[in-house]
Amino acid sequence: METSRNISQTILSFLLVSVGMMTTITFGFVPLLNYFETYMTILFALFFWAPFGISCILFGLFKVVDRIKTKELLCFSFIVWGFIVILLNFTYTNVILTLVLVSISAALTGLNVITGANYMSSNIPMNRRGFYAGVYLGIGWGIVAITAFISFLDLHINFWILAISNILVGLISFLLVRSRKVEFEWKQLIVIPRDYNIKKNMIIFWISSLVFSTFLGIIVFLLGTSMRFDESMKSFYLENLRYYFATAESYNLGLINFDFIAVGALNFLLSPIFGKLMDKYGRKPVYFLSNLLIPCCLIFLAFWNMFTFIVISLAIYSVICANYVIIECTVWCDLAPEGKMGQYNGYGWSSMGLGGAVGFLVGYLITTPAFLAQIDLLVVMTIIGLSEISMIPFISMRDSLPPAEEMEWQKKILHIYVIAEGGIVMSDFSFLKWREKKDPLIERKTEEFDPNLFSGGISGVSTMLKEMIDSQQSKLKVIDHEDKKLLFEYGKGFTSVLISSKDLKILRNKLKTLTEEIQNVFSEQIEHWDGDLDKFLPVKTMIKNRFEIN
């Protein structure tokens, strides 16, 4: 009963965080754009996206989220955000005050998003991180669709709903944390093996995210400014935009509202699907697919005024958005070293704010009278530019996460032997016994071997093979026996044998490195060995260090 209660409370906390994240960040799209379109000018949305990006950089630079010891205080950022949105219902007659409040809400959005991404990603199993994030974000996308509809019916009611929902998110989250029913913390539960430069990879992901956000900013700006183009303004793009607007009107909806209702509803279904694909195939292929789809979406949206192609463009648009939001919520945590999740999420999410601001500026530029005559050419140039920029980083990009099995390598290793040429065990270590000592509740599923009998058997098999095939290739690299894998590495005068349940790349690399270390340190003792095993006692320490045994 207690376990089921804990699970339900954890699920509730994930739901609260995902709702808070999605409503605060998408507030800068539908509700706020409708607000500025109604009372001011849509270009003022820059006062949300630019401060959002800048605040994320500052939160990352000063490690604000990582340094706060009392994490439950972060729950109040959702509450304060809610009260600011309530105030915006009454300040639209005062432009300066409104823009100040919008900028503060943007900074709080940055804090909310970093907090939510840290909590969700670090408390979800690593090998299911994409799927679970997709499920909870899918629920958030569903809320986006609902609020887009409410925003069209009554903008101020939508503001009240968003504000109250986030106040409740903050209050309930705070009470759960204070009552110790939920641990509001974040850390890497598994040491992620990396064979790449983290900073270089982060820059590549950041550029890709900036491209996506710029694309999103351009689309949203053009949708939000469609009404200011009169019939005398002619271009393929504007004809398509007018058709799109007429389609939205046929459903008694505004263009932005229609767009986000459709995208939110589709992503309610798509987010879990693409989250699962990320877990299976990695972040890089999904990133690559999304960036390939960006120019496709713009082509469909910019040059076709048929309902079929609008549906196709919305579907592609939804796929891109679903992919990128899941990646944003997980990839920065993947890349972050221990204790730096807040910092990396701050730097990472800044790309969305800054990219959105750049997209708005590009959208404004290509729709000014001076450029309007060349708008189709500019759209084509934008498509080509985004496409080329998005492809460049993938030349040297590595995936942020190896396959799930590689990350859980420590659960796969059973025993290691260092065997002299004569078949005598110089050193060995039982990872199974170490795990049982660490956690007595672990059920033993693998029997132990007598080290000397085992080493004698291995030596016998190797000798038989060498006699049958007199070449260097006769050296065993792996033996597959039922549910066990025996991995081999050879030094001068000795052999290292690792028994594991899986043949993993990371285990081969660790075994090879260990063998080289033993060779470098003990080459003279091995060459002139007199049978004294005490000389090789330090090998056990080398094994523990290489296989991260604390």
Residues 74-92, mean pLDDT to the nearest whole number:
94
Return the top range by mean pLDDT from 40-54, 166-180, 248-262, 332-346: 40-54
Residue pair 145/265 in contact (Cβ under 8 Å)? The answer is: yes
pLDDT at 299 over 80: no
State the pLDDT at residue 394.
64
pLDDT winner (highest mean) among 19-28, 102-111, 256-265, 506-515 = 102-111
Of 209, 235, 207, the C-alpha closest to 222 is: 235
Q: What is the pLDDT of residue 224?
A: 72
* pLDDT for 470: 46
List phi, psi (to 5°) of 498. -110, 125
- What pLDDT band is residue 303 in, cutting at 50, 70 and 90? low
Looking at per-residue confidence, does 193 or 89 come out higher? 89
- In contact, 257 and 244? CB cutoff 8 Å: no
User: How high is the pLDDT of residue 256?
Assistant: 75
Mean pLDDT, residues 216-233: 71
172 has pLDDT over 70 = yes
Segment among 346-355, 442-451, 490-499, 531-540 with least mean pLDDT:
442-451
pLDDT of residue 105: 95
Between 2 and 322, the more confident residue is 322
For residue 77, pLDDT beyond 50 = yes
Average pLDDT for 112-129: 81
H or E element: which one contains 232? none
Which band of pLDDT confidence, cut at 50, 70 and 90, is reported for residue 1?
A: very low
| pLDDT at res. 192 | 67
Mean predicted confidence (pLDDT) in 466-477: 54
The answer to whether residues 380 and 235 touch, using CB atoms and an 8 Å cutoff, is no
Q: Which residue has the higher pLDDT, 30 or 78?
A: 78
The arithmetic mean of pLDDT across residues 192-196, rounded, is 67
Confidence of residue 164 (pLDDT cuts 50, 70, 90): very high
Portion of the chain with pLDDT greater than 70, in percent: 83
Q: What is the pLDDT of residue 178?
A: 82
Report the percent of the chain where pLDDT is more than 90. Answer: 18
Residue 384 pLDDT exceeds 80: no
- pLDDT, position 107: 95
Average pLDDT over residues 313-326: 86
Question: What is the rounded distance in angstroms from the CA atom of residue 156 to the CA atom of residue 162?
Answer: 10
Least confident of 192-196, 270-274, 342-346: 192-196
Decide if 455 contacts 417 (C-beta within 8 A). yes
If you average pLDDT over each of 245-254, 398-407, 471-480, 529-538, which comes out highest? 529-538
Separation of alpha carbons 185 and 182, rounded Å:
9
Q: What is the mean pLDDT of residues 434-463?
A: 58
Which range has highest mean pLDDT (274-288, 294-308, 466-480, 495-509)? 495-509
Comparing 354 with 184, which gets the higher pLDDT?
354
Instruction: State residue 441's pLDDT score.
Output: 54
Lowest mean pLDDT among 232-236, 361-365, 444-448: 444-448
Residue that wins the pLDDT comparison between 224 and 39: 39
Inter-residue contact 273 to 257 (CB < 8 Å)? no
Cα 498 to its chain centre, rounded Å, is 33
Residue 11's pLDDT is what?
73
Q: Which of 41-55, 124-138, 398-412 has the lowest mean pLDDT?
A: 398-412
Kindly provide the b/e burial profile for residues 408-447, where b requires at least 16 CB atoms within 10 angstroms of the residue's own CB: ebbebbbbbbbbbeebbbbbbbbbbebbeeeeeeeeeeee
Residue 80 has pLDDT above 90, yes or no: yes
Range among 165-169, 179-183, 288-292 rated most confident = 165-169
Q: Which domains does the chain have, with CATH numbers?
A: 2-183+196-401 (1.20.1250.20), 407-546 (3.30.450.70)
pLDDT band of 468, cuts 50, 70, 90: very low
Per DSSP bridges, beta strands 484-491 and 425-430 are unpaired
Give residue 163's pLDDT band: very low, low, confident or very high (50, 70, 90): very high
Helix (H) or strand (E) holding 304: none
Whole-model pTM?
A: 0.77
What is the pLDDT of the chain when averaged over all its residues? Answer: 80
Among 63-67, 68-72, 338-342, 429-433, the least confident range: 68-72
| pLDDT surpasses 90 at 53 | yes
Residue 51 pLDDT more than 80?
Answer: yes
In the predicted structure, residue 431 carries a pLDDT above the cut 70: yes
pLDDT, mean of residues 362-375 = 75
Q: Amino acid letter at 443?
A: E
Report how far residue 475's alpha carbon sits from residue 487's, in angstroms, rounded to the nearest whole number.
Answer: 11
The residue behind tokens 């070449």 is: 471
Q: What is the dihedral of CA 457, 460, 465, 471, to 10 degrees?
A: 120
Q: Which two tokens stand for residue 235?
A: 């271009």
